[in-house]
Structures are given as structure tokens and as C-alpha cells.
Amino acid sequence: MAEPIIIAIPKGRILAEVMPLFARAGIEPEAAFADEDSRALRFATNRADIGLIRVRAFDVATFVAHGAAQLGIVGSDVLMEFDYSELYAPVDLGIGHCRLSVAEPRELAERDDPRDWSHVRVATKYPNVTRRHFEARGVQAECVKLNGAMEIAPVLGLSSRIVDLVSSGRTLAENGLVEVETIAEVSARLIVNRAAFKTRARDVLPLIEAFREAAGANRAA
């Protein structure tokens, strides 16, 4: 029997939205998979030919790009940041909707006009996307790489602005920040290792189609 197909799934907010897609695709993870408190990283499913791993969002793309997992689900923000040539992203799953935005302190925004920027110091975990965005506008961006707690950076003087994912905007508001510019709308994508797409097409193609149909049914529901 061939090695099972491994699907990498991100921890965090997308996890709950993934479950209905799995159900529609005929994949039933073991109970511990949906338990955010579980420290397990690898999980079985109702299908012997499919296993799951649950890792950090940025690591999903790495596992799939290097072939440790054949498929994965990850936000388009991660694909924009890393631009892996080894990945194929055939399906927009229609979940995990948010936006990648520039935010700054409310008092600064009241007197600020982004059209006047020539240089910005930005705290973000998306330095590549951030630089490209500002370079396209002719603005020099000095990026301070952080992996979390972005909202505190302007308060402590680490940077005047941040670039981060925004959903409801509540976290920004609670830290005295407001959005001033949207870089990109974000949603979750099914990604596939390009080598596996060719060498294991018999296993991979039906899964791609199952997720495509599941995403379509999810949108129509």
C-alpha cells in the first residue's frame, strides 16, 4: 500500500472553518484534531490513505513545499509572503476571510495622509509583502520583523505603523489603532506539492476535486 497522503492544516482560527469542508469531502478526522488544547501534531482520519498534521500557518507552506505533506490549507497571505515555486494553489476554499492591512495609532491617523508618505517604519511578520506594496507606491519601507504582538509596537515606539491581518478590527481598536490602507483581501487556499501532483496524480487529483466541490457547496449553503 502506498504511503498515505498527508494534509497540513494550520492551527488557530481557520481550524473550525475547515471541519465542514472535510465533512463534505468525506474526510473525518479523529476527535482530537478539533481540540485546540491537544498537543498532538499528527492525526488519523476515517480513511487509511489520508493523514493530517496540524502546524503553524507559516509552516504549512514549508511542509508542503518540501514534500513532507502533499496537500495543505493556508491563507493566501502566506503564499504572497513566501512565493514558493514548489506549490500549486488550485482551489480558493472560500474560508478564513480577512484582509492584510496597514494600521497606525488613532491620533496619528487623524492628521496623517498615506498619499504623503515617502518613508515608513513598519512592524510586521510580512516583510516581503510589505516592501513590495510600498515599493510599488514609491515609498521606502523599513520593516521590523515580529511574529506576534504587532499592536504593541507603535505604543512602545518600535514602529509608527504595523502591517497585519485584520478580521473584525477589534484587536486594533483595543490597542488604539485604526486601519489606513488595505494591502490585500485574504482567504484560505488548498495547496499542493507540485512533484506530488505529477507523481501521485491518482491520489491527489480526486482530493483536489473533492475540496473544490466542498468549497462550492459551502458557499451555496
Residues 50 and 202: their CA atoms lie apart, in Å, by 13
- Does residue 85 contact residue 177 with C-beta atoms inside 8 Å? no
Rounded-to-integer distance, Cα 204 and Cα 110, Å: 51
**Pair 104, 29 in one domain:** no
Q: Which residue has the cell 505529477?
A: 198
- DSSP strand pairing (161-166 vs 177-186): unpaired
Specify the CATH number for the domain of residue 162.
3.40.190.10
Q: 177 and 191: one domain?
A: no
The pTM of the whole model exceeds 0.85? yes
Tens-binned pLDDT, residue by residue, of the chain (221 aa): 578 999 999 988 888 899 999 999 999 999 999 887 888 999 999 999 999 999 998 999 999 999 999 999 999 999 999 888 899 999 999 999 999 999 999 999 999 888 899 999 999 999 999 999 999 999 999 999 999 899 999 999 999 999 999 999 999 999 999 999 999 999 999 999 999 999 999 999 999 999 999 999 877 76
Domain range for 112 is: 98-186
- Whether the CB-CB separation of 129 and 145 falls below 8 Å is answered with no
138: nearest Cα among 115, 107, 165? 115
Q: Are residues 88 and 196 in the same domain?
A: yes
